[in-house]
Amino acid sequence: MQGDFNKKGEQYEMLAIAGAPSHQNILCKEGSEFMQGLAKHFTDFRNNGGEHSEIAKWIASLDCLQSFLYQANRLKNHSEKLRSQMPPPGQMMAASGSEALTDFESLLYHGRAALDRLTFAIAKQTLRTNCEKFPKLPKILRDHKAKGDYIEQTISVIENGIEQVRGILIDHEGGKTGLRSLLAHSKSTGEATNHVFTIQRDYNNKVMYFDLDMHGKGVINTAHTLNQIIPYVIVNAVSLFSGYGKTLDYDGFQPNWEPRCACLTDYITEDESGIKFTTIRTDYHSVKFININVSESILLNIEDVEI
């Protein structure tokens, strides 16, 4: 067996094995094509004599995005698994979603890591400014607005991202801890879970699907939101700073899947008005039935069962 394949003058045949695309096949066509165009821009840059060090920081940011999208794909699978389940008529089905909780927690960490890696690429590696925290990036960019219009465009993209992930990946403006920080420093996923996945079916072949609720956030619905906003922020910012110069609006990064389950938190009423709704909370050794009051608008989520 030959162990040294680095001999001068020798010829070798290499087999390339195609891997998963960087968008993980979970972005719609427009966003996928935009990412492919950006990748081609990097290839052309190198072929035309560009320095690898100039684009390495942007490729690293996209690497972090790819890890996030891989994790987002796992939440898509949990969503599809939920939709594949159906209780008998007149019954409720509840799923603890322990695997979904773990994947969702990982999604939060990958999402924030990707945004912070982008921040490092822009602030430290490009603008030579000490900043590694995504929420602080707009202030850094404003100090460099004289560099060109692309700075103002990037500020707009970043600020839109901050608004959408506040309370999820970054803390609230008033200092209240966001979900990622809560899970990273204070609570387990089990402690933060308000109720599990719930499917209710009546005797008239009507059914309702409800998301697993973690600290007031539906994990599948939140994953869907992050699945759109994080590619929007990172790909547009990398495009503007790397010289590709194109941008794609928020809708262009629409995921190719839909949650198709409602967030129960959105319907809970603080008084005892409305409809009684039953769900379940789990702990380490038991399950607990929870009866809550919800607004009648919850009935908009009723679907016909396909037998």
pLDDT tens for the chain, 307 residues: list them.
Answer: 456 777 777 777 777 666 657 667 789 999 999 999 999 999 998 888 878 878 999 999 999 999 999 999 999 999 999 999 999 999 999 988 889 999 999 999 999 999 999 999 999 999 999 988 999 999 999 999 999 999 999 999 999 999 999 999 998 887 788 999 999 999 998 888 989 999 999 999 899 999 999 988 999 999 999 999 999 999 999 999 999 999 999 999 999 999 999 999 999 998 888 899 999 988 777 788 999 999 999 999 999 987 6
Residue with tokens 């629409």: 254
Residue 20: other Cβ atoms inside 10 A: 11
144 Cβ contact list (under 8 Å, min separation 6): 127, 151
Q: Count how many domains the chain has.
A: 1
| Within a domain: 195 | yes
Distance between CA atoms of residues 62 and 35, nearest Å: 9
Range of the domain at 101: 29-304
On whether residue 64 sits in a domain, the answer given is: yes
In a domain, 24, yes or no: no
- Let me know if residue 225 belongs to a domain: yes
Contact call for residues 85 and 60 (beta carbons, < 8 A):
no
Helix (H, G, I), strand (E, B) or coil at 287: strand
CA separation for the pair 281, 193 (Å, rounded): 8
Q: Is residue 209 part of a domain?
A: yes
Asked whether residue 21 is domain-assigned, the answer is: no
Is residue 133 in a domain?
yes
- Written as one letter, the residue type at 128 is R
Do 221 and 263 meet the contact criterion of CB atoms below 8 Å apart? yes
